[in-house]
Structure 1
Amino acid sequence: METHEYGRIAKRESFYFWHVGRREILREALLRTLGSGKKDLKILDYGCGPGGNILFLRYFGRVSGVDISATALEFAQTRGFEKLDKVTDYTLPYLDGSFDVVSSLDVFEHIDTDEAAMRECLRVLKPGGILLVTVPAHRWLWSNHDVALHHFRRYSRRELMQKLRGVGFQIVEWSHFVTTAVPINLIRKARDGVSQIPSEDVDTYDVEFSNAVNSLLLAILRLEKFIIRFLPLPFGSSLFMIAKKL
């Protein structure tokens, strides 16, 4: 990700529908897996960025963060992480079995050797530990926007499941979400076919919305959250999985 984007993300994490809705969906999914009630778990946010994920992760315990960007970690320092570490690649500076939960939210798509990164998450988890993952979904939504964001791939549900199982995880729960972003991504993809704008000049952040539209999109995400309690959504621009270390 471009360095200047971290400031934009940090400003939006508290109100933009995608961030707020994603946190609510993932918090509820973790509650289904971990159970309700205050936890004191050791949690690692792998690729923590400017730190907004702590807004829901801290409900479950003490959160540490790791990222390759010093700029991102500067923003994260104000968030209340127990510890922050800078790394130079996907490898982690922690002993085996150090954490109860690892979150990797929109990170694996940025790593060429994603399965090696998944193995690192497995390594630092305790036996029975939980991995929470989100990734961009559906290969057919690939566009110049993904290139500008330095993505190596978008994932199908099958691909992500196979990779997680292949390194030693058991899938606990999954669902697509952010269904409203699918038409936006399709418009981006169609625009790529007629636009001569180089991918490096494509805006790397989200579409701007009025407060009213942002509130409407958040309400739709909350409806998705309700539906996901009963069955996984078969499509959406994002995909989450909860996996358990065997």
Structure 2
Amino acid sequence: MDKNYYKEYYVLEREHWWFKARAKIISNLISKSLKNKENNKLNILNIGAATGKTSDILSEFGTVTSLEYDKDCCDFTNSALNLNSINGSILALPFREEEFDMVCALDVIEHVEDDILGVSEMKRVCKSGGLIVVTVPAYMLLWSKHDEVNHHFRRYTMSSLKKIFTKINLTTIRATYFNTILFIPILAFRLLSKLIPTKFIRVGAGSDATLHNNNSISSKILYQIFKSELALLKLFNLPFGVSIFITSSKK
């Protein structure tokens, strides 16, 4: 994450329509995947906690340990929130084997070159029968300045993501795309943005999240559209989208 971006990110995680709708969808999908497990009693690891909002989301399910790779971001978050986030890498998690009931990496493994090692480390520190939760950006066709700002190595398809979980012997519980309704307009924008100089359409660090005023009518409409996918996800998995959600169990 660019140093200029994590300061923007702190506000965006809490106010931007995409983050707010995403939080509701992820929370709901995790809740459904937990099923018979008792909420509020889980020992949870949140990898890539960034500026702390995802740890807030996960706290409804138990006690959260936050880990962040970017030292500056980690220091900034600890200062702003008194979160006590641990500075460390998903490639060498500073925890013992089978320490956590649930291990989450929400939009994280695309940031590391060796994503198989990253998920293997998640498996190592997860208890037998525990839950591993991952979200990632979908489709290289959507690659844009946004991915460069976030230091992504790749975007995924469902099949490429599932191959990682299969390779390290994890059992998939739920796998679905999301942010499906807005897929076409987002695709159109990202393809068009490659033809227009960045300075004309992006501000700040250059993330997609800086494109809308958080209080604008368009942002409120986009939030309602994105959030409406909750109703669809209660019925079935979505066949394509801007992001992918997958939960798996350690045998």
TM-score, normalised relative to structure 1: 0.90
Give the aligned length: 242
* Equivalent of residue 224 in structure 2, options 214, 219, 224: 219
Are 2:48 and 1:44 equivalent residues in the alignment? no
User: 1:18 maps to which residue?
Assistant: 18
Distance of 2:139 and 2:171 partners within structure 1 = 22
Native 8 Å contact 1:145 1:188 kept in 2 = no
Which of structures 1 and 2 has the larger relative contact order (alpha carbons within 8 angstroms, sep 6+)? Answer: 2
SS of residue in 2 equivalent to 1:239: strand
Which residue of 1 is the match for residue 67 of structure 2?
66
SS at match of 1:234: coil
Alignment CA distance shift 1:4-1:144 (3 Å): closer
Q: Is the 8 A contact 1:18 1:178 kept in 2?
A: no
- What amino acid is the match of 2:93? L
CA contact (8 A) 2:43 2:62 kept: yes
- Structure 1: how far apart are the matches of 2:205 and 2:13? 21
* Structure 1 or 2: more helix by fraction: 2
Q: 1:25 to 1:197 in 2, by over 3 A?
A: closer
- Equivalent position of 1:208 in the other structure: 212
Gaps of 5+ in 2: none
Is 1:178 the counterpart of 2:183 in the alignment? no
Residue aligning to 2:8: 8
CA change 1:89–1:219 in 2 (3 A) is closer
CA RMSD of aligned residues (A): 2.2
Name the CA shift for 1:118/1:89 in 2 (closer, same or farther; >3 Å).
Answer: closer
- Which 5+ residue runs of structure 1 have no aligned equivalent? none
Q: Structure 1 residues 150-159 or 35-44, which shifts more? A: 35-44
Change beyond 3 A, Cα 1:80–1:38 = farther
Offset from partner CA, 1:34-82 (integer Å, 9 cap, x none):
237642111011111111102220011000111111222234335465x
Distance in 2 between the 1:232 and 1:79 partners?
35
TM-superposed deviation, 1:147: 2.6
- In 2: Cα distance, 1:196 partner to 1:227 partner: 37
| Cα distance in 2, alignment partners of residues 243 and 183 from structure 1 | 31
Give the SS at the match of 2:85.
strand
Give the letter for the 1:224 counterpart: E
Give the distance between the partners of 2:53 and 2:63, measured in 1 at CA.
Answer: 15
Is the Cα–Cα contact under 8 Å of residues 43 and 64 in structure 2 kept in the other structure? yes
For the residue of structure 1 that corresponds to 2:177, the secondary structure is strand
SS at match of 1:127: strand
